[in-house]
Structures are given as structure tokens and as C-alpha cells.
Amino acid sequence: MRHPGALEEQKAQNAGQVLRRLAPYFSPFKHRLIAIGIVLVLGTLADLAAPYLLGVAIDQFIAVPEEGMPLWLSWLVGPDVGRASGLTAVMVTLAVTYAISWLLNVVQFRLMVQVSQRVLLTMRGQILAQLHRLSLDFFDQHQAGDLMSRLTNDTQVINDMFGQGLMRILRMSLTLVGIVIAMVTLNWRLALASFAILPIILAVTAYFSRRVRRAYRETRRTIGAVSAELQENISGIREVQAFARENETIGEFRAVNLRNRNAVVTAETIGALFMPVLEVLSTVAAAVVIGFGGYLVLGFSPPLVSVGVIVAFLNYVRRFYDPIREMANLYGQMQSAIAGAERIFELLDTEQSVKDRPDPGCLPGVLEGRIVYEDVSFRYQEDEPVLDHINAVIEPGQMIALVGPTGAGKTTFVNLLLRFYDVQGGSIRIDGCDIRDVPQDTLREAIGMVPQDTYLFSSTVMENIRYGRLDATDEEVMAAARVANADGFIQRLPEGYQTQVGERGSLLSQGHRQMIAISRAILNSPKILVLDEATSSVDTRTELLIQEALDKLMSERTSVVIAHRLSTIRKADQIFVIQDGQIVERGTHQELLAREGVYYELYMSQFRRQEGLFEPAEAPATGTA
């Protein structure tokens, strides 16, 4: 299902500004880049020598020479060489220059690809690190597929541009400068005639460049939408098939893909229109050389230009407009890379909403686990408070249950404790320390969490449990699994602890995934534990095993439990009933039942029949369990 407002509009940026942002990525490789520049210059010189050698061959050994032999040629073939021998020597020299040019091309492209791949590695690492730093509210507003597109598609188009495209642009630029110098040196009159249509080419290039950049920015935006739609459809494949919504889903994807197709067609069409215009202009330039060159030969005695120079000019003119055509072709790629870089820098420039303070404090070395919520308020949207002036004290070792209707603020209560979001009013303290004074990684290492929907990585059972403490030995991992009652089912798996669990743990049942999550938390051995009811989606037998493991895990720990089942709630030291963003009741299970208030109503409507304590027509006596 699409989220039409999920993709942000892109702000146009100056290309020079984007390129300046990219420059620091290449600065660590300045020595290699200098070597690439030297090779580039030498290769360009070798390439530019070819037309000149052709002209020399014609003027000195095919036509009747009107002037003396150039000094370098006399040194190469000797002053009295025959025409056939001299022509052969020049052709061999021409072949050598082509070979040198080819070899230097290979060297420079290989060196640049190595540099660009390292830049790509650095950039992708920065993006992933930034994604890990950003707070949850950022991911609430952005689709995972679009973020993946920035990490893969946008970085790849930058790599393509700077791996080969940039070298081609630099070489073409040097070629243009070299051709201008060579043409002016050979015959300035013919050179001026050849440059007559250059202003037209510059005007055409400026016109198309503006349109191409806008078009390619749209292609980068729409490919992100395609990635986002595809990722969502793959992740939700069970729901798609369960509700037989394949046709509707495919239709939505086609609509998103159609936007991308239209954007790409527009961009490619604009680029394609540019090429024929340049072809016509280059043909006109060649005609000018032939016509004006013929005039300089036939209209003057002696001729103001030789036939060999005209042939050299024709080659130079062709090569002069080839770089322009090539750069025009690469211009679209450059614009696509700039548009991709804009999206990447937009992500890298995104500020964290939850930040560590410049001089963060730290929690005590040995935690007691006392948690205090003092006048805490929070809202996701300005006019919709989620928690409103919450006050609560959780003593060390206590088990606190959070109950209330959906949307009451239970999950927000624990998200604020973990600093997934920061409180907007009041404070939360652990052992007297404001959690905003604690580095986020330090805080979260002190708090263990077992979510209701356990996420397992596409790895082995062993590695998923070890995720709780990366330096744990295999023996410690297995010991944690035994405490969590998970060792039994793990040993029955095809490869035991080395069994692959599949994407998101898809090869395991919900109950087994929960046991692995509990094993992970036991291995971490936190002083404070947050549980989003781990038994709400499993069968009764598995629930008993999980509950037994949870009892061991919560022993002598401060525990905050989002409760959905009575079996957990009845054991709590305190139950906080949250409604409309406030704690409206608090007390033990028996005390709250005796009051016959909000908790009593929740108990009657949600828990009584699940536990089977009473007949449907009966009401419990006040104060009874």
C-alpha cells in the first residue's frame, strides 16, 4: 500500500555546492589522483598526436612537400629518407601513439575505479551510521525502501559517474583545450572558421542542461518510490496472499513504476534530442573546414594552407565535437549523480531529534534500578498529547505492569525510558540520574528489552542469542538458552545452535522466537528489564515455558511490563492503568479489583473469559481475584 506523502520534495541545489560536498571524499586519495592526472595528460597528448601525424604523412610523403621536413621528423627518419620508407616510419609512429593512448586509458580508469570504490564504501558506511544515529521519529516519517534506495541506487549512480564518467569528462576537457591549441598553431585562419559555430553549441548545451537536470532529479525521486513500494510488498507478502490482494498490489506497484518510467523516458528523451543537434552542428563545422580550407588552397598562391593540414583539421574538428557530444551524453549521468548526491546529503544533514549532550554524565557503576517519572509529558503531534504530566516511582527490583486501552500511551511510556524519543516536559531519572544526561548507548546497554514481535536476524540461533552480548562465549550462550527454556527445542533443530533462522526468524515459530529473545536478554543480564508481553501470541504450553523463563529473568531486576494477559498482571508489585495519557489508577491486582474502577472494567471485558475464572453470567465479588 502506498503512502503518497512519504516522499519529500527535493530542493534544488547548486551543482557546484554538491561537488564541493563530494570533494572531501576524494581528498584521502590525493596522491593517487595526482598520478591519475599525470596519466590523463600523457594519454591526451598521445591521442592528439594522431591527426597531426596524419597531416605530416600526407604533406611530407604523399603530396609534393612545399616546405622542409620538421626537425623531429628529420631526426626520426633521417634527412634523405625515401617517401615509402618515411611514410612507413610515420605510420609506425602513429600506431605506437594509438597503443600508448590505449594503455594509458586502461591505467587511468583502473586507478580511478579503485578510488571510486573506496569512496563508495566510505559513503555507504556514513549513510548506515547516520541511519543508526537517527531517532525513531525519522523512521516514522520515511519508508524503508526509499532509505534503501539512497544507500544502494543513489550511491551507485555516484560511483558510476566518478568511477568512469568523471575521467571521461576530464579527458574530454583536456582534449578540447589541446585541440584548440593544435588548430591555432597549425593555421589560425582555419581555426577561427572552425570555431564559428561554437557559440551556437554553447547556447544549445545550456538550454538542454537545465532541462536534463530537472528530469534526472525526478528519476532519482521516483526510483526511491519504486524501492519503497517493492520493499513493502515483499515484507507484507503473507498479508497480500492471505487477503488475495495480489492484483490490487500489483496495480499499485505498476502505478508507482509508471511514474518512474515516465520520468526516465522524459530524461532520456531530452538527452537523446541533444545528440542529433550536435551531430548536425559537427557536420556543419566539417563542411566549413573543407570549404574554407579549399578557398585558402585555391584562392591564394602560394596556398595559405596545405592539404595535410586540412586533413588534420578535419580530424581535429571531428574530435573537437566528439568531446562535446560525449560530455553532453555524460551530462545526464552527471545530473543523475548530482540528484543522487542531493538525496544522500539531505539524509546525512538530517538532525537527530534525540541527541547526547556535549558533556553527558553516566549512570552509577552498579545500578540499583530505581526509576522516577517526574511530571513527564510527550506528544507525537502538536495537538495530540500522548502522555500528560505522568508521575511514577518504580523501586529497585519491583515489577510494574502497564495496562490500558490501545493508544493509551503504554508503549510511549517505555519508549521514553529507552530514549527512543525524548520527553518534552518533565524528566525521567534512573538512580537519580536524568537519562538525558546519559549517552544513549550506555543507557540502552543498562536496559534489556523483550518485545512482543521479536526480530531475529538472518543468521544462526547462536549468533542471534549472542547479539545480547557480542563477547559471550558459546558456553555462555547455551547457558542463557537453558535458563530461558530454549535449549530443548534448539537441540532438536537440524543443526542445533548453528541452524539458520531465516529472514526475521521465519523458519521458527512465534514461541521459539520469543524464547530466543528471552535468551538474548538473559545473556545481556540487564538491571532494568522492559517486556512487551512476550506470551500474547503463543499456545498455552509454550506460554508456560516462556512465563517460567520470564520469572527467572525478572528475578531481582526492575521490570516494566506492557501487559496483555492476566498471568503477568497478577504478579506485579504495582499496576499502572493508563488512559488518555495519564495514570488514572495504580495499585496491586487485588487493590484495583476492589475499587471497581477502570482496571476492573478492563479486567471484566478483556481478561475474565481468557482465564476462565468465572462463568459468563457471573460477576466476581468485590476484592476477589
What's the pLDDT tens digit per position in 422-462?
A: 999 999 999 888 988 888 888 888 888 887 777 788 889 99
**Is residue 38 located within the same domain as residue 83?**
yes
Pair 335, 213: CB distance under 8 Å = yes
The last residue of one of the domains, among 349, 379, 399, is 349
368 is written with which cell numbers? 540499583
Phi and psi dihedrals of 563, rounded to 5?
A: -100, 135
Sheet with 425-430, edge to edge strand ranges: 384-394, 371-381, 425-430, 433-434
Residues 16-30 have pLDDT tens digits of: 777 788 888 888 888
Residue 114 has pLDDT above 60, yes or no: yes
Measure CA 169 to chain center. Answer: 26
- pLDDT higher than 50, residue 57: yes
Give the pLDDT of residue 246.
Answer: 77
Gap between the Cα atoms of 427 and 417, Å rounded:
10
* Bond from prior residue into 302 cis (ω within 30 degrees of 0): yes
CATH of the domain at 62: 1.20.1560.10
Looking at the fold, whether 82 and 220 belong to one and the same domain comes out as yes
**pLDDT (tens digit per residue) in 197-231:** 778 877 877 777 777 767 777 787 787 778 777 77
Asked if the model's pLDDT at residue 615 lies above 80, the reply is no
Pairwise CA distance, residues 402 & 572, whole Å: 10
Clarify whether residues 390 and 266 are in a common domain: no
User: At CB < 8 A and 24+ separation, what contacts does 32-40 make?
Assistant: 32/111, 32/114, 32/115, 33/115, 35/111, 36/108, 36/111, 36/112, 36/115, 36/167, 37/170, 39/104, 39/107, 39/108, 39/111, 40/104, 40/108, 40/167, 40/170, 40/171, 40/174
Q: What is the structure's pLDDT at 606?
A: 64
Average pLDDT, the chain: 80
CA-based nearest residue to 327, from 156, 168, 178, 196: 168
Residue 148 to residue 368: CA distance in whole angstroms: 41
Q: Is residue 116 part of a domain?
A: yes
One-letter amino acid at 549 equals A
How do the residues of the chain divide into helix, strand and coil, expressed in percent and rounded to 5? 65, 10, 25
For residue 390, the Cα-to-chain-centroid distance in whole angstroms is 38
Coil, helix or strand at residue 399: strand
Other CB atoms within 10 Å distance of the CB of residue 207? 12
Quick check: is 7 in a domain?
A: no
- Here the cell at position 599 is 482496571
Confidence of residue 607 (pLDDT cuts 50, 70, 90): low
pLDDT of residue 417: 92
Print burial letters for 81-111: b (CB count within 10 Å at least 16), e (below 16): beeeebbebbeebbeebeebbeebbebbbeb
Q: How large is the average pLDDT for residues 380-401?
A: 88
Please list the residues that pair with 427 across neighbouring strands: 374
Query: Which band of pLDDT confidence, cut at 50, 70 and 90, is reported for residue 519?
Result: confident
Phi, psi for residue 420 in degrees, rounded to 5: -65, -30
Place of cell 594503455: 103
pTM (two decimals): 0.64
Q: Which of 340, 342, 326 is nearest to 219 (CA)?
A: 340
Is 213 in the same domain as 93? Answer: yes
Residue 462, pLDDT score? 92
Task: Give me 14's grid cell.
Answer: 547548486
Q: Are 39 and 33 in contact (CB under 8 A)?
A: no
Number of separate domains in the chain = 2
E strand spans, 473-592: 528-532, 558-562, 574-579, 582-587
Q: Which residues pair with 434 in a beta bridge?
A: 429
Judgement on whether residues 438 and 567 belong to the same structural domain of the protein: yes
> Could you tell me if residue 165 is inside a domain?
yes
Residues 246 and 382 in one domain: no
Looking at the domain assignment, is residue 12 inside a domain?
no
613, pLDDT greater than 60: no
For 449, the domain range is 371-622
DSSP 3-state assignment of 305? Answer: coil
User: Does 238 share its domain with 277?
Assistant: yes
Residue 625, pLDDT score: 32
Q: Are 550 and 469 within one domain?
A: yes
| Domain-embedded: residue 360 | no
Please report which confidence band the pLDDT of residue 371 belongs to, taking 50, 70 and 90 as the band edges: very high
Q: Residue 334 belongs to what H/E stretch?
A: helix 307-348
- Same structural domain, 181 and 82: yes
pLDDT above 90 coverage of the chain, percent: 9
In a domain? residue 559: yes
Within 10 Å of residue 568's Cβ, how many Cβ atoms? 24
Question: Do 505 and 616 fall into the same domain?
Answer: yes
Whether residue 522 is predicted with pLDDT greater than 70 in this model: the reply is yes
Question: Residue 336 class from Cβ within 10 Å (0-12 exposed, 13-18 middle, 19+ buried)?
Answer: buried
At 347, the amino acid letter reads L
Per-residue model confidence as pLDDT tens digits over 528-558: 888 877 665 566 676 677 777 777 777 778 8
With a cut of 80, say whether residue 273 has pLDDT above it: no
Same domain, 247 and 394: no
d(CA 198, CA 321): 9
- The DSSP secondary-structure symbol of 65 reads P
Question: For the domain that residue 458 is a member of, what is the CATH number?
Answer: 3.40.50.300
Specify if 397 maps to a domain: yes
In a domain, 216, yes or no: yes
Q: What is the pLDDT of residue 614?
A: 41
Contact between residue 226 and residue 256 where contact means Cβ atoms under 8 Å apart:
yes
Is the pLDDT at 11 greater than 90, yes or no?
no
The CA-atom distances, in angstroms, between 299 and each of 295, 305, 455, 495, 589 are 5, 11, 86, 92, 112
User: How far, rounded to the nearest angstrom, does the alpha carbon of residue 419 sit from its chain's CA centroid?
Assistant: 24
Same domain membership, residue 244 and residue 110: yes
